Chains A and B, each alone.
Chain A
Amino acid sequence: MKPLPELTADEQGRYEWQLRVRDFGLEGQRRLKAATVLVSRIGGVGGSVALQLAAAGIGRLILAHAGNARLNDLNRQLLMTTESVGLPRVETAARRLRELNPHVGIETVGENISESNAADLVSRCDVVVSAAPQFAERLLMNREAVRRRKPLVDCSMYDLEARLMTVLPGRTPCLECLYPEPPPNWQRQFPVFSAVSCMVGSLAAMEAIKVVAGFGAPLAGRLLVSDLRDMSFRTLPIARREDCAACGSVAHGG
């Protein structure tokens, strides 16, 4: 195992306030610096994930999202700017994140996750955060993460509802344990306030930070179901499916 990188004086100053977090400290910060996180899509949810991870000092981010920013992205995709409409989303996101924290290495991939790039992208990261608005894409991300034994944080929202789970391959249920196949009638255009997508993106980033730095208790074997209409937050126990096509053949242990 490679030794953890040291922090520069500038980094120690930048992260001074979070270095005080109980059970995190200098070693947790060095673990973040050593880690690479793949973020699938940088829209309302994934963009918030990337922003939080960059602020926290993750070593490297791989941002995968196809296409150019549109006017109607701006109510929630907070890494975009009015001037960036018509320009590639990943390039604007990379610029904004570098302005926030130049210590973070950022790789941009102007494609969505697909069969042709999933294996390569997952092989090059330590943790995957999946925030795609298409269910087939999220199931593919889950399969690849499980196959390569990489922790996956899956986050989603609809209207004022949000859901979040963390998959630790070999230890916990995976996304496909819950949803064996894509829903037949998911409507791509979903109602969204940025306040909701940012909330679940921030929670997902916290899960990724905990998993990378090795502290706290991630949402392993639990599904967070929240509804901001009544401010309810519930964590529902979930179980593996022995016949799960994604993780059923993966040896499970403690």
Chain B
Amino acid sequence: MHVRVEFTGQLRTAIGRANDHVDLPEGATVAMLLVQLGEHCGEEARPHLLNASGQLQPSLLVAINGTAFPSRQAEATVLREGDTVVLLPPIAGG
């Protein structure tokens, strides 16, 4: 199945694009999506998704079809074909 992923903030800068369509197995969770992205996104972007132990970055906010959750609350959510996932690492520019 395919989900649309949008990148924001410094994650978008590090990844170098605003969005992507990601191919995932049926029944894949948010955690599986982020680990898959983390494996392929490059050294600069990975810390926005995963911490040094390979766990989801707690400070990452994940919006699934328009509702936002901290990554650790969203990790077990099962994704479906056509879902849109927006990844929102914190920004603090003042």
Verify if B79 is at the interface (C-beta below 8 Å from A).
Answer: no
Number of A-B contacts (CB under 8 A): 102
Determine which of A132, A159, A239 lies in contact with B92 in the assembled complex, contact meaning CB atoms within 8 Å: A132
B68 touches which of A159, A178, A182, A186 (Cβ 8 Å): A178
Q: A181-B58, A183-B59, A184-B47 known; A238 and B68 CB under 8 Å?
A: yes
Among residues of A, the one whose C-beta sits closest to the C-beta of B91 is A158
Tell me, rounded to whole Å, the shortest Cβ–Cβ distance linking A196 to chain B: 8
A46 to B66, CA, bound (A): 28
Given A183-B48, A225-B8, does the pair A234, B91 have CB atoms closer than 8 Å? Answer: no
Q: A234-B66, A237-B68, A239-B69 are in contact. Are A156 and B59 (CB under 8 A)?
A: no
Residue pair A133, B48 in contact (C-beta under 8 Å): no
Q: Interface residues of B: mostly helix, strand, loop or mixed?
A: mixed
Q: CA separation between A197 and B91, bound complex, in Å?
A: 12
Contact between chains at A182 and B59 (CB < 8 Å): yes
Binding site for B on A (CB under 8 A): 41, 43-46, 131-135, 138, 155-159, 161, 163, 177-187, 190, 192, 197, 223, 225, 227, 229, 234, 236-239, 241
Q: Chain B: residues with CB nearer than 8 A to chain A?
A: 8-10, 13, 18, 47-48, 51, 57-59, 61, 63, 66-70, 72-73, 86, 88-94
